[in-house]
């Protein structure tokens, strides 16, 4: 067993405080990773505050992990001491269902083992995430971080990046496709960069008029700000694909109305509140309402390589581990450009 320093929420909604987390002894295929950086995803906040129903406490959040391999199990073949690696939102899956065999481990029919707030395949051992100095993970669930990517700015790609890349690829974003991204936060800002690099025509739909300059700088062709997209008549039927990254409730009827014939509205944000939609909002133009979550290991590696070759990284603000509670409050106020990344050196001192 290996003890790592960490920050945890001891109970639902409580501020995160210093804690020690036990990491397992290395199994043959495990690597021990010293964590250098961990991004702060809105999903961390949702879960630490118990917004998604019953959750497991104490909880060490964090699933945008970049670090270095410092020790390897005896059967490890693809990772070596010193390698820069990443860990995203899951650390295991059943490995034999059609989804796992097809590289879609995030849709494992038995449920993926999430990096934190989850239990290992043994059904008992709790998982804890990347707000920590170290983590032990099976090498098959690690990613190689390309040399061309700065490790701190790469960290949020492990969740935010793949969450945007996977639906953009699945629904064929590219030249001639009109893509709208709703919400310019951690997910949205990297989504703009990736959609632009794929050649799509990119529009940002935001509730914050002050983000216009940033949206254009990030690569959007157009920006519209509104608190009520139902009243924006000039946007009706304007898009093939709308990616909703908002962390709160949205008006699905209004958003569906932005789609042209055969268009798709993809839910990525996970509002604690349920949504409703009128059948008429979909049937008239054969519109689809869909959802998507992160991506499989192979696709995540593909995304990292794509970002490296297109010079894409996240716009980040580095913080100390001790600043995490204030960072959550700032994230709720929309005061982050565009992702907090914890410098884990702050936890080692």
- 293 is a contact residue toward ligand NAP (CB under 6 A): yes
Residues within window 198-227 making contact with ligand NAP, judged by CB under 6 A: 206-208, 211
* Sign of the torsion formed by the C-alpha atoms of 48, 190, 136 and 121: positive
- For residue 153, state whether it binds ligand NAP (rule: CB under 6 A): no
Site for ligand NAP in 4-63 (CB under 6 A): 41-43, 46
- CA torsion, ordered 145, 150, 153, 156, to nearest 10 deg: 0
| Sequence-distant (≥ 6) Cβ neighbours of residue 210 within 8 angstroms | none
By CB under 5 A, residue 108 contacts Zn ion: yes
Can residue 270 be called a binding residue for ligand NAP (CB under 6 A)? yes
Q: Of ligand NAP, Zn ion, none, which one does residue 133 interact with (CB within 5 to 8 Å by kind)?
A: none
Q: Which long-range contacts (CB under 8 A, 24 or more apart) does 191-196 make?
A: 191/164, 191/243, 191/245, 192/218, 192/219, 192/220, 193/218, 193/219, 193/310, 193/312, 194/161, 194/164, 194/165, 194/168, 194/303, 194/306, 194/307, 194/312, 195/164, 195/168, 195/219, 196/220
Q: Within 144-163, which residues bind Zn ion (CB under 5 A)?
A: 159
- Which one of residues 111, 174, 237, 334 is an interface residue with ligand NAP (CB under 6 A)? 334
- Taking alpha carbons only, the member of 37, 306, 339 closest to residue 188 is 339
Of the two residues 93 and 118, which places its CB atom closer to Zn ion in the complex? 93
The site partner of 56 among Zn ion, ligand NAP, none (C-beta below 5 to 8 Å per kind) is: none
Query: CA end-to-end span of the chain, whole Å?
Result: 22
Q: Which stretch binds ligand NAP (CB under 6 A): 72-80, 256-264, 267-275, 309-317?
A: 267-275
**Residue 70 binds ligand NAP, judged by CB under 6 A:** no
CB nearer to ligand NAP: give 4 or 327. 327
Instruction: Give the span between the Cα atoms of 186 and 192, in whole angstroms.
Output: 11
Candidate segments 126-134, 246-254, 296-304, 305-313, binder of ligand NAP by CB under 6 A:
246-254
- Residue from 60, 145, 184, 316 binding ligand NAP (CB under 6 A): 184
Q: Does 187 bind ligand NAP (CB under 6 A)?
A: yes
Instruction: Quickly list DSSP for 88-120.
Output: -SEEE--SSSHHHHTT-GGG-TT--EESSSSB-
159: β partners? none
- 41 lies in the binding site for Zn ion (CB under 5 A): yes
d(CA 207, CA 232): 13
Does residue 59 belong to the site contacting Zn ion (CB under 5 A)?
Answer: no
Q: How far is the CB of 14 from ligand NAP (least distance, A)?
A: 19
Residues of this chain that interact with ligand NAP (CB under 6 A) are 41-43, 46, 159, 163, 183-187, 206-208, 211, 245-248, 268-270, 293-294, 331, 334
Residues of this chain that interact with Zn ion (CB under 5 A) are 41, 43, 93-94, 97, 100, 108, 159
């Amino acid at each position: 067993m290996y003890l790592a320093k960490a920050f945890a929420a001891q109970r639902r909604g409580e501020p995160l405080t210093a804690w020690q987390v036990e990491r397992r002894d290395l199994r043959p295929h495990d690597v021990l990773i010293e964590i250098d950086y961990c991004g702060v995803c809105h999903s961390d906040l949702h879960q630490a505050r118990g917004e998604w129903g019953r959750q497991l406490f104490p909880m060490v959040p964090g699933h945008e992990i970049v670090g270095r391999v410092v020790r390897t199990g005896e059967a490890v073949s693809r990772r070596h001491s010193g390698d820069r690696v990443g860990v995203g939102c899951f650390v295991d899956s059943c490995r034999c269902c059609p989804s796992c065999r097809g590289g879609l481990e995030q849709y494992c029919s038995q449920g993926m083992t999430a990096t934190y707030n989850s239990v290992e395949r043994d059904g008992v051992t709790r998982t804890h995430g990347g707000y920590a100095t170290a983590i032990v993970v099976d090498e098959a669930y690690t990613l190689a971080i390309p040399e061309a990517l700065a490790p701190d700015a790469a960290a949020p790609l492990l969740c935010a990046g793949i969450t945007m890349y996977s639906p953009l690829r699945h629904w064929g974003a590219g030249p001639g496709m009109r893509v709208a991204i709703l919400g310019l936060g951690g997910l949205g800002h990297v989504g703009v960069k990736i959609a632009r690099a794929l050649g799509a025509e990119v529009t940002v739909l935001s509730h914050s008029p002050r983000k216009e300059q940033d949206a254009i700088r990030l690569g959007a062709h157009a920006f519209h700000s509104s608190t009520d997209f139902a009243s924006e008549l000039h946007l009706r039927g304007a898009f093939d694909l709308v990616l909703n990254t908002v962390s709160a409730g949205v008006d699905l009827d209004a958003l569906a109305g932005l789609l042209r014939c055969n268009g798709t509205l993809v839910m990525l944000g996970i509002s604690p509140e349920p949504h409703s939609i009128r059948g008429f909002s979909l049937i008239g133009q054969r519109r689809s309402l869909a959802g998507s979550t992160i991506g499989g290991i192979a696709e995540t590696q593909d995304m990292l390589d794509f970002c490296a070759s297109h010079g894409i990284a996240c716009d980040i603000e580095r913080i100390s581990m001790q600043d995490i509670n204030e960072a959550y409050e700032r994230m709720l106020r929309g005061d982050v450009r565009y992702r907090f990344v914890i410098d884990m050196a702050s936890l080692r001192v």
